[in-house]
Amino acid sequence: MSPSEYDILSIIPQKPPFVMVDKLIHCDDTSARSIFLITTENILVENGHLSEAGIVENIAQTAAARSGYLIRKENKIAQIGYIGDVKNLEIAELPKINSKIETEIVIKNQIFGITVIAGKMMCGNKILAQCEMKIFISNQT
């Protein structure tokens, strides 16, 4: 199955109302892309825009979707990841309600249960936000 054929809730640990990705549209060994439509019902929307916390969570959930998809493909048990560090967060613009955003993550390094990613959120051709993030993988399932 392609990434977009999976129900997003089957490959990420988050559950409504804390889901910040709608669909995984690309996934390979080193990167992933997701799409997300920002709605008024989203719990991380403030003053008509997705908040800074929502941006960070969207990037992290894109990484989680990549991991969940690859694990499901290999019939392995998913492990929980935690945001350990966010560096160089740059927000050019907060995405507005009804914006369809695309988020890309690229794996920069993986070692001893720590994954370092570069994340970028875009709306059309405009980069809205980017950062580097460390994600720690728990040995507990």
Per-residue pLDDT of 42-77, as tens digits, reads: 999 999 999 999 999 999 999 999 999 998 888 777
- pLDDT value at position 139? 64
Distance, in Å, from the CA atom of 122 to the CA atom of 61, rounded to the nearest integer, reads 15
Instruction: Assign domain 3-137 to a CATH class.
Output: alpha beta
DSSP 72: H
- On the question of pLDDT at 140 being above 60, the answer is no
Lowest mean pLDDT among 9-18, 77-86, 90-99, 105-114: 77-86
> In the chain, where are the structural domains located?
3-137
Contact 137, 80 (CB under 8 A): yes
Rg value, the chain, Cα: 14
